Every structure is written in C-alpha cells, then in structure tokens.
Amino acid sequence: MKRLGKKSRFPLEINEMPDRGGRFAIEFVRLFFDFLYAKNYLFKE
C-alpha cells in the first residue's frame, strides 16, 4: 500500500463515495484548480 502513495489514494476516496458525493468532490476539485489558475493569472499581470 505504501508504494501507491498519496496520488492513488485521492481518486480511490472519490470512487468510494456515493454518486452525489463523488460529483460534489469532482466539482470542488475543478473549482479549486480554476481558482488556482485565476490566482496565477492575476499575479502575472
């Protein structure tokens, strides 16, 4: 299990959630990355 590391753990946690919870987690991650992208874009200018 140690060989899998944290990268493999996160998708497994999403898959173990109910469908509604899984969708919420995926949307949250998408919004989080959009926020990071917007933040980086603002700081570049």
25 near 17, Cβ under 8 Å? yes
What pLDDT was estimated at residue 1? 43
Instruction: Round the average pLDDT of the chain to a whole number and report it.
Output: 69
- Taking only the tens place, the pLDDT of each residue in 5-25 is 445 455 555 555 556 667 777
> CB neighbours of 22 closer than 8 A, spacing ≥ 6?
14, 15
pTM strictly above 0.75: no
